[in-house]
Amino acid sequence: MKDPKKGNVYLLIGEESYLKEDFIQKTKNRFLDESNKELNFISFSAKDSGIEDILSSAKTAPFLSKKRVVVIKDVEKLEERKRDILLSFLKNPPESACLILESSKESGRQFMEDKFLTALSRHATLFKAEHPSYNALDAWVRQIAASSGKKITKEAVELLKELSGNDLGVLSKEVEKLISFIDKKDAISLEDVEKIIGKSVKEDVFILVDYIGSKDASKALLLCKNLLQHGKKAHEIIGLIGWYLRKLLLAKLALQTGKNQDVVLRELGLRRFYMNKLAGLLDNFKIDELKEKLKLLFVAERSIKTSSSKPEFILDVLISRLCAD
């Protein structure tokens, strides 16, 4: 929501790049006509651009439009002198400008400890680009479908998350693909997801987790290479490995309470096909081992978003570590 006291100045923080790009696109659509959109939109890199050029663009009168949208990427990388100039400018920005200040800093402690960002927030409406929790992701997927007038069943959402991982950009594209497929149908079903997104990849990743459990790094790396060659993305593979390992951890913890194995697997909401597969993996992993492997997955997912290393390289390193003793 816009803070009316802060005009059309926004500060985007957080690591979820999809949400930030979506915010920028919606802001362009809100303020700019299609005919002159590109003439009244400009994006700067704070590190590589002069502050005078940035502010001159913000002061420039829009062309056949009421607003001009100016984005400053990685605003936290501005030099000290430039920071003071920007803060002074934000005390009285031109009415014709919409300024979007973007930072990759997290919205929690990193933001609170950054004096420059907190100073900016006093002049801007704050937008936190945070990835939804695993459970909140269901509502997010349903919202994407609803924006096109469609519904999606609970089972379809679960399978979509399992097959596509938790990357918002990937999930959004897959939902769009499903909406096109169902055409005039009101809702996306489990069968639609299986038919369009496919379940073969999930079965391949089960084999991959089996290799990880038996610490067979060479076979695991070879299978990863094959999945990548067939179009799967590194973050999708990591997401599916995480799905299996989380289910295994929950099952192991529940079994410690004395519950029957079949009961435990049913309580996890698994279909019979995956219940049988997970049952065969339970003896290959210890609880502490699963917790450590999930930490490695978390680090790898973050590295793909923030590191300059290639995702494929990060995946290879991850698989080698997951297979280590």
Residue at a domain's end among 80, 109, 128: 128
- Let me know whether 290 and 316 are in one domain: yes
Which residues form the domain of 319?
Answer: 197-323
CATH number at residue 180: 1.10.8.60
Q: Which residues contact 74 (CB under 8 A, 6 or more apart)?
A: 45, 46, 47, 102, 103, 104
Residue type, 316: D
> How many domains, in total, are found in the chain?
3
Reference 126, options 10, 208, 273; nearest CA is 10
Residue at a domain's end among 188, 209, 233: 188
pLDDT at 198: 66
- Let me know whether 44 and 92 are in one domain: yes
pLDDT averages per 10-residue partition of the chain, 325 residues: 68 91 94 90 93 95 93 94 94 94 83 89 92 87 94 90 78 92 91 77 81 91 89 85 87 84 74 67 88 94 88 95 88
CATH number at residue 85: 3.40.50.300
- Let me know whether 153 and 124 are in one domain: no
CATH number at residue 261: 1.20.272.10
- Let me know whether 146 and 52 are in one domain: no
pLDDT at 271: 60
pLDDT at 267: 77
- Let me know whether 222 and 277 are in one domain: yes
Per the CB < 8 A criterion, the answer to whether 85 and 58 are in contact is no
pLDDT at 308: 86
pLDDT at 143: 94
- Let me know whether 140 and 117 are in one domain: no
Is residue 30 included in any domain, yes or no?
yes
Decide: helix, strand or coil at residue 112: helix
pLDDT at 270: 63
Per the CB < 8 A criterion, the answer to whether 180 and 192 are in contact is no
pLDDT at 272: 59
- Let me know whether 245 and 207 are in one domain: yes
pLDDT at 204: 82
Q: Is the pTM of this model over 0.85?
A: no
Residue type, 28: K
Query: What DSSP string runs through 237-304?
Result: HHHHHHHHHHHHHHHHHHHTTT--HHHHHHHTT--HHHHHHHHTTGGG--HHHHHHHHHHHHHHHHHH
Is residue 222 included in any domain, yes or no?
yes
- Let me know whether 121 and 180 are in one domain: no
- Let me know whether 222 and 289 are in one domain: yes
Is residue 3 included in any domain, yes or no?
no
Per the CB < 8 A criterion, the answer to whether 120 and 11 are in contact is yes
pLDDT at 262: 76
Is residue 4 included in any domain, yes or no?
no
Residue type, 34: E
Residue at a domain's end among 88, 104, 128: 128
pLDDT at 15: 84
- Let me know whether 168 and 184 are in one domain: yes
- Let me know whether 105 and 180 are in one domain: no
Separation between Cα atoms, residue 98 and residue 70, nearest integer Å: 6
pLDDT at 163: 72
Is residue 1 included in any domain, yes or no?
no
- Let me know whether 313 and 268 are in one domain: yes
Is residue 78 included in any domain, yes or no?
yes
Per the CB < 8 A criterion, the answer to whether 314 and 234 are in contact is yes
pLDDT at 305: 82
Is residue 176 included in any domain, yes or no?
yes
Is residue 18 included in any domain, yes or no?
yes
250-257 LR contacts (CB < 8 Å, sep 24+): 251/278, 251/282, 252/282, 252/285, 252/286, 252/287, 252/290, 253/287, 255/282, 256/287
pLDDT at 294: 94
